[in-house]
A = this chain, B = another copy of it.
């Protein structure tokens, strides 16, 4: 159903690269256009043409890392689809890659056919995540330690997070300014914090 899919690989490890090259050159549905050992080389190359391909990008590279270079790459080719192919499975690296513009993230432990699957999925506008990666992303949304604050306290916090002054909160809740202060004092004690900034941050991190 899909036409020819073009791909480019940036990978410095010769062993990994050889495996990918020999595998993809055997696939009739996928055309391996080029390979590069560093993002610097790749960036020189993309300046020469406006290409239509999917990029398989390693993170751990000599010189600039794949993630560091991604924003620049995307600024040159905004519509480029990037698949991160790496051994890093740390949550923060995953989110950095996604934030930098990658649409898929695959562990190098994946089989070659899985990598091919990912390329085809991306070619069709989808996104592929290795099971272990997807699990990290899913887990990221869980914790929810449940609030130790009372209903009233949550109302106060809500006001603060929404940028209202204590005075505004007081009038919104039909209580006095001092009561608001009192609540806040208790909230700080309960959350073991001591500034509005920390409270706001916490309200985002913990969902309160």
Contact = CB atoms under 8 A, between A and B. Distances in A.
Interface in A117-160: 121, 124-132, 134-135, 137-139, 141-142, 144, 160
Contacts of A193: 163
Contact of A163 (B99, B103, B135, B198): B198
A181 to B, nearest CB: 16
Nearest to A125: B135
A95 interface: yes
Contacts of A163: 193, 195, 197-198, 201
A174 interface: no
Interface string A75-115: 00000000000000000000100110111100000000000
Q: Quickly give the copy total for this chain.
A: 2
Nearest to A139: B103
Interface string A161-176: 1111100000000000
A162 B195 CA distance: 10
A178 interface: no
A98 B200 contact: no
27 contacts: A98-B138, A98-B141, A99-B142, A99-B144, A102-B138, A103-B138, A103-B139, A126-B135, A127-B132, A127-B134, A127-B137, A128-B134, A129-B129, A129-B134, A160-B197, A161-B197, A161-B201, A162-B197, A162-B201, A163-B193, A163-B197, A163-B198, A163-B201, A165-B195, A196-B196, A200-B201, A204-B204
